[in-house]
Amino acid sequence: MKAFAVAAFGMLTVSAAAHAVDVDLPRNLAAGCTGCHGTEGRAVSGSGFDSLAGLDQARIMQKLTEFKSGVRPATVMQQIVKGYSDDQLALIAAHFAAQR
């Protein structure tokens, strides 16, 4: 019986850790965007890339969704966004919208 209690406690501990929120996840996901869109979404002036910092979250998400579906043509973005789930794209959009 004691072994069962230890095993049950271990499973609860692992389960709790698996459901822990990673507060850095949005920033970490958005890090892949900074090569083109600049640190914290502030693109270099004249680079030809859009700055994302401070844009409306819904607008960023709309653009990402359009890239993912193929509605919005792009050379690279269509391939990049396919690597993210819709939930991850929402986190990325929220991260850039929060930048000032």
- Per-residue pLDDT reduced to its tens digit, 14-64: 555 566 789 999 999 999 999 999 989 999 999 999 999 999 999 999 999
pLDDT > 60? residue 11: no
pLDDT of residue 20: 75
CB neighbour burial string for 23-42, b if at least 16 within 10 angstroms, e if fewer:
eeebeebbeebeebbbebbe
Q: Which bin fits 56, alpha (ψ -120 to 50), beta or left (φ > 0)?
A: beta
The single-letter code of the amino acid at 99 is Q
* Token pair of 39 as six digits: 């640190």
pLDDT score at 21: 87
| Residue 92, pLDDT above cutoff 80 | yes
Please state, as a whole number, how many other Cβ atoms lie within 10 Å of the Cβ of residue 53. Answer: 18
User: What single-letter amino acid sits at 20?
Assistant: A
